[in-house]
Structure 1
């Protein structure tokens, strides 16, 4: 069985010639994606997962189309059907594996009609059908003549060099993708810790409010002052709850404001509450924890943000279901930096 498959693969092209075809179609796919984005956004973007000017999904797709369509190449309807099935299956599996490993969808069809889990859709399938017919009936017969003109020794050398560059490129690209995943995970943890921190501050808020209410009930001469402070505590709590209803992007600013409010409230309450030292210590411990978490996230961002932004810029349709909040935050940061770059 293996010998039959090998014979079929090598019947028309040698291994090195298949490799050259793969890189040729990968480059053509990259040109196609760059052209589409250039028309849409009026600017150049180096599209794709890799750094170099190739999109392997197109290379594998084209090679897969050529291999699967050989038995039916005389019937263009079957070529379109078989090519679509083969290429769509490849696109689905690739998208699924990349999301499983990197926690990011580097292409996302979730918003397009007739999509399957966001990895493939009717439009992409139709595109593969058109590509299948064009590749089998027009492009490959033309390319075949030039491939055959290349001496096998030269084809072997060129294939080896291209594979070497692709391996190195893939290594750097995987590192960039893992950096993006690590950054998203750290932002997710930070957001959860920040939510927990706000929950602890809510408890302190209630404690302070209760102390003020109890003390105000016994000291009539201080009623107006206590009422003012109670209103201040309530207002601070309401502001924070409004922030927590917003996206996580605002939680960090909310924490800073709350610590400032607590410091002011405790300083004022110290003049008439019996003992606020325990509360002050609790707030200081919470603030120290918040500062440590913020510093850890800042260092992570410094190490990985540039590569993460590069990945997002090259894949503008990317999405992340697992880290939706942090991913949207990163996209806003990347878009803001892009606007600054092009407005400068």
Structure 2
């Protein structure tokens, strides 16, 4: 939920005076924009499951049992959260600043390849912590550099970043696969993949579990971004640019430089997401690997209304859904990609929720 409600959206009475937003109207907005789309998406997906001959209660029940009510499943859910949290942090920065960075998948993969290509070569040369630090920094730098072209076109030419970031994401995915096959391929294996970082040199596990400590860094990233955007002058400048670039220019802000900074921060965090997956869990990047986490996180950030705490909760439940659906696919014969159907349903219901909310507010004015 937004931390502040713009007075322009505040309902007015018949005399034209502003009416304060009541707790009831705030609750109705939460129901329409967050809870409603989630429930509707699960109901719509349940109908699809019935049509293909699968009991939706059995499917959803098994997901909960596998991902939340078992020790191993809960640990896998927590580990899966790490890259999604970094991506959520990057998207919160971009969306709050009015920038549509839809190129996170390309930035994620290139950051992952950069970390996977560098870290194994540094083992034995640098201390373990330095190997991980170099991998993360290089991944963030590569992710940020991949956003330079869309940033320049948006900042100085006004080119729509939705088109440019999607194009750069497509190119980034192809470039990552090409780099793995031709330049960073592990010569000791027949399968095209990067060199593998030994398990002992990856991010440490939390306590005596299999949970990667990347989870902690992901949580720190989301909370730091939330505080930056809501409690600092720099975050206020970014939000001003997103709300009204013309007014921001009149206020003396450098809109092009702030636009460039937004792209760099958002894409850098996407690169860190790729590094956390490789340095914490996978250890290498296979050719043609693309989990498409970036596009999956977008509806979660919108459902959270760009709020860091809400994003953490939604990422947790979505991670549980991903882990549980992988097991349900094997046990119940449901395609593993059915999770994408749920994401698509969520996007449709989210759009309908936005439409209903806008229609209600117009009637109240």
Relative contact order, CA 8 A, sep 6+: which one is greater?
Answer: 2
**TM-score, structure 1 as length reference:** 0.25
**TM-score, structure 2 as length reference:** 0.24
Which structure: larger Rg? Answer: 1
Structure having the higher helix fraction is 1
